[in-house]
């Protein structure tokens, strides 16, 4: 009923079309979601590779859920990176960081490889590529950043902004 009402209002021109120049019109971009998703890919690969001792039904359930989530997280990495690359990296930044296009392409390829298999090396390579992207991103904003071991499995190195108090 509400949908019908809104369509009717739209037809007679009472509701204007909303628009924005980007996915996040307020200019808030952060590599954090892509990093968490890439670390999740590695963690899910670890779960899949270490699940041999489960009984058959539990193993099938575990693997089905882990594979589906791994695919989702790998796609999320690609999505988050595409948004920042497409909406944030304008020509002046591309001139300053000419490697950005090749790096994003490598992230897209490695994200796809992570969806296709459970090779931990691919997951680690994806995290490394996203870390490189994060370093460029934070540098472009003039934000100090550092590398540290994430405090949860798989306890691998990630880039994070150094926030002042």
CA distance 27 to 159: 21
Distance from CA of residue 147 to its chain's centroid? Answer: 18
pLDDT truncated to tens, each residue of the chain (165 aa)? 656 655 655 666 554 554 444 555 677 899 999 999 999 999 999 998 887 777 888 888 999 999 999 999 999 999 999 999 999 999 999 999 999 999 999 999 999 999 999 999 999 999 999 999 999 999 999 999 999 999 999 999 999 999 887
**DSSP string spanning 56-109?**
HHHHHHHHHHHHHHHHHHHHHHHHHHHHHHHHT--HHHHHH-TTHHHHHHHHHH
- pTM exceeds cut of 0.85: no
pLDDT at position 25 = 63
Q: How far apart are CA 37 and CA 39, in angstroms?
A: 5
User: In this predicted structure, what is the pLDDT of residue 58?
Assistant: 87
The CA–CA distances, whole Å, from 151 to 40, 92, 157, 165 equal: 13, 36, 10, 21
Which domains, ranges and CATH numbers included, belong to the chain? 29-144 (1.20.120.400)
Q: How large is the angle between the packed helices 120-140 and 32-49, nearest 10 degrees?
A: 170
3-state secondary structure of 146: strand
Degrees to nearest 5, angle at CA 30 with 94 and 19 = 80
The pLDDT of residue 51? 77
What is the predicted pLDDT for the residue at 10? Answer: 61
pLDDT at residue 20, as a whole number: 45
Q: Rounded distance, CA 165 to CA 160, Å?
A: 15
């Amino acid at each position: 009923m509400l949908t019908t009402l809104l369509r009717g209002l739209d037809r007679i021109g009472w509701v204007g079309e909303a628009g924005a120049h980007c996915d996040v019109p307020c200019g808030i971009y952060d590599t954090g979601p892509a990093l968490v998703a890439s670390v999740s890919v590695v963690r899910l690969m670890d779960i899949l590779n270490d699940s041999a001792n489960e009984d058959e039904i539990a193993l099938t359930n575990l693997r089905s859920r882990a594979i589906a989530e791994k695919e989702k997280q790998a796609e999320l990495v690609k999505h988050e990176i595409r948004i920042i690359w497409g909406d944030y990296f304008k020509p002046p930044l591309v001139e300053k960081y000419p490697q950005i296009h090749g790096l994003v392409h490598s992230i897209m390829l490695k994200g796809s490889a992570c969806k296709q298999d459970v090779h931990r090396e691919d997951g680690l390579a994806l995290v490394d590529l996203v870390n490189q992207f994060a370093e460029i991103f934070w540098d472009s904003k003039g934000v100090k950043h550092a590398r540290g071991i994430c405090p949860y499995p798989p306890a691998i190195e990630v880039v994070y902004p150094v926030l002042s108090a």
